[in-house]
Amino acid sequence: MQAKPKLRIGYGVDVHQLAEGYPLWIGGIQLPSPLGAVGHSDADVLIHAICDALLGALALRDIGFHFSDTDPKYKGIDSKILLKEVFRLVSEKGYGIVNIDATVILETPKVNPHIEQMQVVLAGILNLATDEISIKATTHEKVDSFGEKRAIKAYASALLYEL
């Protein structure tokens, strides 16, 4: 019998409410917006989805398991710190990242003009080339909570290889 290829796939999804008076962090950068994401941390929905994709690929549970949303230690924390810790767990398990593909669902503001900057920030943390981390953006066509600007959502997939 042939040995299995040493590849692992994972996916993650995250949602945060939007409200006035909160900053809007997506992919490690702050976007100018009257509405921001509500959460215990900085509520960076894209980074949270990527964290869950990376953890999921190695059956390492989920972001809430590692960083409790009731722990005061994580109140307002920069999600880039959480992503660094998740990457450390992945490396510790003996895996590297092949690539990541993600989608952000947000009605407004436009995410597209900021994607290149997000790629640079996230690639730096995860030791990837910018073309190994794909970020896509779409609106929700004005329908449901996302289309009504009441929430933001992100999906991410990650492929890992054994080092």
Contacting positions for Mg ion (CB under 5 A): 14, 48
- The CB-of-6 to Mg ion minimum distance in angstroms stands at 30
Taking the least distance from each CB to Mg ion, the nearer of 85 and 132 is 85
Rounded-to-integer distance, Cα 147 and Cα 10, Å: 27
- The CB-of-45 to Mg ion minimum distance in angstroms stands at 6
- The CB-of-40 to Mg ion minimum distance in angstroms stands at 8
Residues 6+ apart with CB under 8 A from 18: 24, 35, 36, 37, 38, 149, 150, 151, 152
Judge if the upstream peptide bond of residue 109 is cis by omega within 30 degrees of 0. yes
Taking the least distance from each CB to Mg ion, the nearer of 14 and 107 is 14
Rounded-to-integer distance, Cα 64 and Cα 23, Å: 21
Instruction: Give the residue nearest to Mg ion (CB).
Output: 48
Residue 98 burial (C-beta neighbours within 10 Å; 0-12, 13-18, 19+): middle
Taking the least distance from each CB to Mg ion, the nearer of 38 and 159 is 38
Structure token digits, residue 64 = 């809430």
- The CB-of-50 to Mg ion minimum distance in angstroms stands at 11
- The CB-of-61 to Mg ion minimum distance in angstroms stands at 15
Taking the least distance from each CB to Mg ion, the nearer of 45 and 128 is 45
Taking the least distance from each CB to Mg ion, the nearer of 98 and 140 is 140
Rounded-to-integer distance, Cα 27 and Cα 95, Å: 22
Residues 6+ apart with CB under 8 A from 143: none
